[in-house]
């Protein structure tokens, strides 16, 4: 037996040595990202927002009102070994958007980022979901809808882009079109078209990563694709600067829960007999702090979140469904011992998140496939 083991050890050693000897020199980096972007301290309302998607590569600086955007020298951190043109720290006129090209260390890949520096444009308060643009959702030719709000004063300017998890779903969805996504523009709204949110199966690929379903969701904030698999609750980053005092959230919705409520247990869906899916529509008014620029799936409705000032939310009955278009009007409930500071309000320190989902537990990948929520003529009522 000893000889046997000796031989095994020897051959193991030889084969590992053989395999290791075949390892070639490390290839140069192929990535060309802007990893972070900054302006001198005190100029920004909030940290720069970097969007790195299939079709959009952009950096947006929201600068304070006193800042002159005609001469700014943003600094960029890029993928190790990559180069950026013009160089980081170059003074440029940002009264128009500027382009920067990042080229990878291996020289084979490059991306052109659009860099914008602007003063904050307070968000619109009424949402009719009439405006969408169709965007790439993956490299296979898949496309999904992205809802836009146009500036009430100048309809050629985009005031706000709604976020959703569509880009995450896109990974699993091949070359299919917008209406196969969890979030899409649906026909037959109360007026014109409306927002359609449907809980869908993510198929084989979703199962591979232990995320077998995706609830339709639409929210003010951004979807952090990088964390979509990793930390899905943190991938939905809710909120943007808000300059008003909200008192109510109203609009129209209709909701039909899917047939079987499924719960995620050990990366697989298990039916929960007797449970019916619910939708959710809510708005959260909160104070932005350095450690909580956005709210996320972990803390957006937490009772003990110290940043939250007020919440407006469908009540339990309303969340169960409404077969036909139904009007809702819910109040912002201000939390006790919270007061508003007018100066903070003016400086965009407060923020608002509006969130809609077709499955209340969708963030945990539980819900009923087929649950469908439609929302239209949504409005945040302010003082």
Binding site for other proteins (CB under 8 A): 1, 4, 7-8, 11-12, 14-16, 19-20, 22-27, 29-33, 52-54, 104, 109-111, 138-140, 167, 171-174, 203-205, 208-210, 225-231
Q: Residue 101 or residue 151: which is nearer to other proteins going by CB?
A: 101
User: Do residues 160 and 345 touch, judged by C-beta distance below 8 A?
Assistant: no
Please tell me the distance from the alpha carbon of residue 374 to that of residue 97, in angstroms, as a whole number.
Answer: 36
Element counts in the chain: helices (H) and strands (E): 6, 30
**Identity of the residue, 74 or 168, whose beta carbon is nearer to other proteins in the bound complex:** 168
143: CB partners within 8 A, 6+ apart: 134, 135, 136, 137, 177, 178
Vertex 245: Cα angle to 244 and 247 (nearest 5): 130
CA distance 216 to 200: 8
**Complex with other proteins: residue 50 or 375, whichever CB lies closer:** 50
**Least separation in angstroms between CB 236 and other proteins:** 15
- Nearest CB to other proteins, comparing residues 102 and 312: 102
Bond into 86 cis (ω within 30): yes
Q: Which residue has the tokens 């037959």?
A: 188
- Residue 180: CB minimum distance to other proteins, A: 11
Supply the DSSP symbol for 307: T
**Strand 246-256 and strand 158-161: pairing?**
unpaired
278 vs 281: CA distance, rounded Å: 10
- Whichever of 86 and 107 has its CB closer to other proteins, that residue is 107
Q: Report, in Å, the least distance between residue 93 CB and other proteins.
A: 27
Q: Quote the least distance from Cβ 21 to other proteins, whole Å.
A: 9
Nearer to other proteins, 54 or 364 (CB): 54
We find the least distance from the C-beta atom of residue 363 to other proteins, in angstroms, to be: 15
Least gap, CB of 270 to other proteins (angstroms): 18
Burial of 264 (0-12, 13-18, 19+ CB in 10 A): middle
Minimum distance of other proteins from residue 77's CB (angstroms)? 15
Q: Give whichever of 126 and 231 is closer to other proteins, judged by the CB atom.
A: 231
In the complex with other proteins, the residue whose CB is nearer, 137 or 284, is 137
Burial of 294 (0-12, 13-18, 19+ CB in 10 A): buried
Distance in Å, CB of 35 to other proteins, minimum: 10
Beta partners for residue 269, in sequence order: 264
């Amino acid at each position: 037996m000893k000889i046997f083991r000796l031989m095994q050890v020897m051959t193991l050693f030889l084969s590992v040595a053989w395999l290791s000897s075949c390892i070639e020199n490390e290839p140069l980096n192929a990535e060309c990202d802007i990893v972070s972007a900054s302006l001198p301290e005190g100029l920004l309302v909030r940290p720069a927002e970097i969007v790195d998607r299939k079709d959009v590569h952009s950096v947006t600086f929201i600068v304070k009102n006193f800042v002159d955007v005609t001469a700014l020298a943003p600094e960029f951190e890029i993928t190790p070994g990559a180069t950026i043109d013009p160089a980081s720290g170059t003074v440029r006129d940002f009264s128009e958007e500027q382009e920067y090209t990042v080229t990878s260390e291996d020289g084979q890949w490059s991306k052109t980022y659009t860099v914008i520096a602007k003063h904050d444009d307070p968000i619109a308060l009424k949402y009719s979901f009439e405006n969408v643009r169709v965007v790439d959702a993956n490299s296979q030719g898949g496309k999904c809808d992205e809802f836009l709000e146009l500036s009430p004063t100048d309809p050629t300017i985009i005031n706000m882009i709604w976020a959703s998890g569509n880009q995450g779903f896109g990974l699993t969805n091949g070359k299919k079109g917008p209406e196969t996504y969890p979030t899409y523009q649906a026909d037959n709204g109360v007026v014109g078209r409306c927002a359609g949110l449907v809980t869908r199966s993510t198929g084989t690929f979703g199962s591979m990563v232990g995320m077998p379903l995706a609830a339709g969701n639409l929210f003010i904030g951004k979807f952090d694709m990088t964390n979509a698999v990793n930390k899905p609750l943190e991938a939905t980053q809710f909120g943007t600067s808000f300059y008003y005092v909200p008192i109510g959230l109203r609009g129209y919705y209709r909701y039909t829960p899917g047939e079987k409520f499924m719960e995620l247990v050990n990366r697989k869906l298990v039916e929960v007999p007797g449970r019916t899916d619910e939708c959710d529509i809510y708005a959260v008014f909160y104070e932005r702090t350095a450690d909580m620029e956005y709210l996320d799936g972990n803390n957006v409705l937490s009772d003990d979140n110290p940043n939250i000032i007020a919440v407006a939310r469908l009540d339990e009955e309303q969340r169960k469904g409404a077969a036909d278009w139904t009007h809702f009007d819910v109040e912002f409930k201000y939390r006790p011992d919270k007061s508003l500071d007018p100066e903070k309000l003016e400086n965009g320190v407060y923020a608002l998140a509006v969130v809609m989902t077709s499955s209340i537990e969708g963030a945990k990948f539980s819900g009923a496939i087929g649950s469908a929520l439609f929302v239209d003529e949504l409005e945040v009522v302010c003082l």
